[in-house]
Amino acid sequence: MSVTVELSYDMSKAYGERRIELPQAENVKAAVAQVEAAFRERGQELAPLSRVTAVAINGVLVQHRRGMRTPLRDGDTVAFVKAASGG
Amino acid sequence: MMKGYAGRVLEIDLGARTHRYVPLDEEIASLYIGGKGYGTRLLYDRTEPGIDPLGPDNPLIFATGPLNGSVAPQSNRFAVVCKSPLTGGIGNATCGGSFAYAMKRSGVDVIVVSGRAASPTRIEIDGKTDEITFLDAQDLWGKGTYETQQILGKKMKHAVVGPAGENRVLYAGIVSDERIAGRSGVGAVMGSKNLKAISLEGNRKLEMDDPDAFKAYTKTVRTLFAEHPHLGSSMKRFGTGGIVNTTNARNILPTRNFKYGHFDQAMDISGEYMEDHELKGVKSSCIHCPVTCGRQVEVEGKGVVKGPEYETLALMGSNLEIGDLKKVDEWNYLADDLGMDTISLGATLSFAMELGERGMLEVDVSFGDPAGVSELIRDIAHRHGVGDELANGTKRMSEKFGGTEFAMHVKGLEMSAYDPRGSYAQGVEYATTNRGGCHVQGASMYLESVGPLTINPQNLKLKADIPVVQQNLACAINSMVLCIFTSYGMIPAMIHNMDPSSFTHRMLSKAVENLGPLFRLSQSIKGKPMLWWEKWMTQITGTPMSAGHIQEIGGRIFNLERMYNLREGLGPEHDTLPDRMLYEPTFPGMTSGHPLDQLLPRYYRNRGWDAGGVPTPKTLEKLQVQV
């Protein structure tokens, strides 16, 4: 199994990479926990960067699935989403 | 004279080289405000059905509204209205900068340009003396929009066309300062009249009903904007490019001619990346606007120039599979200087690339490779070689070379950069908007897929309601004339600052999603002015304006546009999306595309139209739309 986590821009600046590949993650909550651990290993904190950030699986917000308990499948992409405006 | 208006319309006949000032029609102004609304009414009334959009009978109407000429934030835009050469239906576009402010101060609400000059001509309007001068523009013909404005000087404000307009590229725009009235091919209409530029100046003051209230309230709004998370913060820092990473994460960033909604290199063309690596300055090229969404970047050989906005980053970046921001900067500059809409240009380029890939068109550009793109953009503007084909847009190209199923346009107007398969209300808006596949005629995506609310953008709830309210609002905004970005301030900072996964936020989004008809009902109440544009309109014109009034006037304008399209043969069969959007899934588990067939009948009902998509006599009567 492999899950790709795409970080937000601010997160990627802090972490030093844009994506984190996870070999195993049962659900979104577990994936985010692994990302938090990866940040800590590099002396960074994820929480301040994810405070007003939603989470999406393959483009769909977890709110519209089963929240943070949404199971993950091989090949899924988890992304942190900031609200934005523009045109 | 009505407060907030200059009270005059300037009629210019290019063929006869004559002009006259006529009083503003107060009945039209009271029913349609100004800007796009006033222009649409004039177009409908003054033209015969079936006129050639590039012929002398198509009037080119520049129109301001009551908020123009004031210091209200985001209030200095003008509208251009004509029959669109791209769609054959209603054509309109708005443009920021300083032209609208100067036009109002020159003592004119509306300029109607009719006929065709015998040779390249430019016009100067001296608002102090009311003198109009027709000048030879042969020496400017062929020059870019930036050089043209530089030659014309800073004393007056200008609206000009570049080579694309002169050569009648069907998606040519009209450029003023660094801004462009991009959509619908309004620049091609100006070029077809042999009109290179309109320049004007004046020093007349805007008369308001309650200037003191306006002044005090505007100060409050400036503070509100300054403290707003989007208008006062992210737009300032990242410009509209700050949305790239969001649409990418939501799988709605056009990629490879809208084949996909996700681009691996999206971050490299984002507003955040621009801020970190390329930004040379932040600029509000729109007078009195505190939002400053404009970017400044450096282009080799050109110096510091206007940077690309979101639509350009997407349509000429991810949609071409180009992750090199420097290239997009360069193409953006080129398109602006040649005077072309980057949305239509980007979509046409991606369509040509896909045609080329499938062996349906011989073209020297391909996805993911910047080679040859600059040259092709120049060839489009000058109608050289295969550029002559691309200059006609995706619809006409698909009719000639095939590929209608992946020609990304609605009614002939190329689609903007929000993939409707992940934004259902936006899809309905694209399908039904009178000028074609555009996002700023409602911006439904802000409420469902990119803004701070987290309603589900992929179910049917509210997706036929949001577009009605948003399109009406946009019609009114484009008639005052304000920037559509002002509507992003409607969602208060408190909601932006909430954790989206919190219980309160989720409940709020659920509640909004389940409002259904209440959503529209809440907008129909004619009460007291609440939002800033309602208060400004009330303070400036003296006529009370509320959400209900705005929706009614906006609905009137929208229905008149609809009747114009029907008259011109652009019927309900054109209320659709490209096949790629309707039948190709982009999300795991999705079996098809956008469910337009389920949403369109609801939309028609909400509009008060019959099942065939035609406004009923009752609806037209209720909205006082005379046809």
For B95-129, write each residue's pLDDT tens digit. 999 999 999 999 999 999 999 999 999 999 999 99
Q: In B58-82, which positions are buried (b, 16+ CB within 10 angstroms) versus exposed (e)?
A: bbbbbbbbbbbbbebbbbbbbbbbb
Query: Has residue B2 been placed in a domain?
Result: no
Strands A53-57 and A19-22: unpaired
Q: Which of B243, B244, B245, B419 to mutate to test the interface with A (most CBs of A within 10 A)?
A: B245
User: Tell me, what's the pLDDT at B183?
Assistant: 98
- Whether B171 and B94 map to the same domain: the answer is yes
What domains sit in chain A, N to C, each tagged with a CATH number?
3-82 (3.10.20.30)
The domain boundary, picked from B169, B201, B233, lies at B201
Give A78 to chain B, closest Cα distance, Å. 9
Give the pLDDT mean for A31-40. 98
pLDDT interval class at B520 (50, 70, 90): confident
* Total structural domains within chain B: 3
Phi-psi region of A8 (alpha: psi -120 to 50; beta: other; left: phi over 0): beta
- CB contact under 8 Å between B500 and A63, yes or no, is yes
**Of all residues in chain B, what percent carry a pLDDT higher than 90?**
90
Smallest CA–CA distance from B315 into chain A, residue: A87
- What is the Cα gyration radius of chain A? 12
ipTM: 0.98
DSSP codes joined into one string, B35-89 = HHHHHHHHHHHHS-TT--TTSTTS-EEEE--TTTTS--TT---EEEEEE-TTTSS
Give A43 to chain B, closest Cα distance, Å. 22
Give A41 to chain B, closest Cα distance, Å. 24
Smallest CA–CA distance from A67 into chain B, residue: B501
- What is the Cα gyration radius of chain B? 22
User: Tell me, what's the pLDDT at B523?
Assistant: 78
Query: Has residue B428 been placed in a domain?
Result: yes
DSSP codes joined into one string, B457-518 = TTSSTTTTTHHHHHHHHHHHHHHHT--GGGGGGGS-HHHHTS-TTSHHHHHHHHHHHT-THH
User: Tell me, what's the pLDDT at B50?
Assistant: 98
The tokens of A69 are what?
A: 């308990």
Helix axes B547-567, B532-541, angle to 10 degrees: 90
Q: Is B64 in contact with B530 (CB distance < 8 Å)?
A: no
Smallest CA–CA distance from A62 into chain B, residue: B501
Give the pLDDT mean for B208-221. 97
- CB contact under 8 Å between B451 and A84, yes or no, is yes
Q: Looking at beta carbons, which residues of chain B come within 8 Å of A76?
A: 588
- CB contact under 8 Å between A84 and B272, yes or no, is no
Q: What is the CATH number of the domain that holds B64?
A: 3.60.9.10
B121/B348 Cα distance (integer angstroms): 30
Q: What is the CATH number of the domain that holds B493?
A: 1.10.599.10
Smallest CA–CA distance from B507 into chain A, residue: A63
Query: Has residue B470 been placed in a domain?
Result: yes
- Whether B197 and B253 map to the same domain: the answer is no
- Per the structure, the complete domain to which residue B70 belongs is given by 8-201
pLDDT at position B546 over 80: yes
- CB contact under 8 Å between A86 and B241, yes or no, is yes
- Whether B324 and B433 map to the same domain: the answer is no
B76/B285 Cα distance (integer angstroms): 10
Query: Has residue B206 been placed in a domain?
Result: no
pLDDT at position B141 over 90: yes
Q: Is B315 in contact with B325 (CB distance < 8 Å)?
A: no
B465/B207 Cα distance (integer angstroms): 37
- Whether B244 and B303 map to the same domain: the answer is yes
User: Tell me, what's the pLDDT at B284?
Assistant: 66
B544/B526 Cα distance (integer angstroms): 9
Give the pLDDT mean for A26-44. 98
Q: Is B123 in contact with B197 (CB distance < 8 Å)?
A: yes
B186/B94 Cα distance (integer angstroms): 10
Give the pLDDT mean for A16-24. 97
CA distances from B82 to B183, B301, B410 (A): 11, 36, 18
B364/B362 Cα distance (integer angstroms): 7
Give the pLDDT mean for B233-248. 94
- Whether B166 and B146 map to the same domain: the answer is yes
Q: Is B440 an 8 Å CB contact of chain A?
A: yes
- Whether B156 and B258 map to the same domain: the answer is no
Smallest CA–CA distance from B266 into chain A, residue: A9
Give the pLDDT mean for B529-552. 96
Smallest CA–CA distance from B242 into chain A, residue: A84
Q: Is B525 an 8 Å CB contact of chain A?
A: no
Query: Has residue B108 been placed in a domain?
Result: yes
User: Tell me, what's the pLDDT at B286?
Assistant: 87
Helix (H) or strand (E) holding B282: strand B281-283
The domain boundary, picked from B151, B181, B201, lies at B201
Q: Looking at beta carbons, which residues of chain B come within 8 Å of A5?
A: none
- CB contact under 8 Å between B230 and A84, yes or no, is yes
- Whether B494 and B370 map to the same domain: the answer is no
Spell out which chain A residues touch chain B, with contact meaning CB-CB distance below 8 angstroms.
Answer: 6, 8-10, 12-13, 18, 51-56, 58-64, 67-68, 76-77, 79-87
pLDDT at position A60 over 70: yes
B291/B483 Cα distance (integer angstroms): 11
Smallest CA–CA distance from A60 into chain B, residue: B250
> In this structure, what are the phi and psi dihedrals at residue B316, rounded to the nearest 5 degrees?
-110, 5
A vs B, Cβ pairs < 8 A, gives 114
pLDDT interval class at B514 (50, 70, 90): confident
DSSP letter assigned to residue B409 = E
Q: Looking at beta carbons, which residues of chain A come within 8 Å of B235?
A: 85-86
pLDDT at position B283 over 80: no
The domain boundary, picked from B395, B430, B461, lies at B395
Query: Has residue B445 been placed in a domain?
Result: yes
Nearest to B418 by CA among B429, B433, B403: B429
- CB contact under 8 Å between A87 and B485, yes or no, is yes
Q: Looking at beta carbons, which residues of chain B come within 8 Å of A85?
A: 230-231, 234-235, 240, 242-243, 446, 450-451, 485, 488
pLDDT at position B339 over 80: yes
Q: What is the CATH number of the domain that holds B318?
A: 1.10.569.10
Give the pLDDT mean for B377-392. 98
pLDDT at position B288 over 90: no
CA distances from B353 to B84, B394, B610 (A): 26, 12, 40
pLDDT interval class at B510 (50, 70, 90): confident
- CB contact under 8 Å between A81 and B267, yes or no, is no
Facing A84 at nearest CB: one of B262, B440, B450: B450
DSSP letter assigned to residue B284 = -
CA distances from A45 to A36, A81, A83 (A): 7, 17, 21
- The residue assigned the tokens 């308001």 is B208
**Predicted confidence (pLDDT) per residue in B407-464, tens digit:** 999 999 999 999 999 999 999 999 999 999 999 999 999 999 999 999 999 999 999 9
Strands A77-82 and B179-181: unpaired
**Predicted confidence (pLDDT) per residue in B147-177, tens digit:** 999 999 999 999 999 999 999 999 999 999 9
Q: Is B455 in contact with B512 (CB distance < 8 Å)?
A: yes
3-state percent helix, strand, coil for chain A, nearest multiple of 5: 35, 25, 40
- Whether B569 and B536 map to the same domain: the answer is yes
pLDDT interval class at B522 (50, 70, 90): confident
DSSP letter assigned to residue B21 = E
- Whether B163 and B292 map to the same domain: the answer is no
Give A66 to chain B, closest Cα distance, Å. 12
Facing B267 at nearest CB: one of A12, A52, A53: A12
Facing A54 at nearest CB: one of B270, B446, B454: B454
- CB contact under 8 Å between B488 and A85, yes or no, is yes
Query: Has residue B472 been placed in a domain?
Result: yes
Q: Which residues fall within 8 angstroms of residue B566, CB to CB, at 6 or more apart?
A: B614
- Whether B340 and B267 map to the same domain: the answer is yes
- Whether B241 and B286 map to the same domain: the answer is yes
- Whether B290 and B185 map to the same domain: the answer is no
User: Tell me, what's the pLDDT at B511?
Assistant: 86
More reliable by pLDDT, B196 or B493: B196
Mean of all residue pLDDT scores within chain B: 96
B431/B420 Cα distance (integer angstroms): 10
- CB contact under 8 Å between A83 and B246, yes or no, is yes
User: Tell me, what's the pLDDT at B281?
Assistant: 86
Give the pLDDT mean for B332-350. 98
**Of all residues in chain B, what percent carry a pLDDT higher than 70?**
100
**Predicted confidence (pLDDT) per residue in B20-59, tens digit:** 999 999 999 999 999 999 999 999 999 999 999 999 999 9
Query: Has residue B400 been placed in a domain?
Result: no
Q: Is B378 an 8 Å CB contact of chain A?
A: no
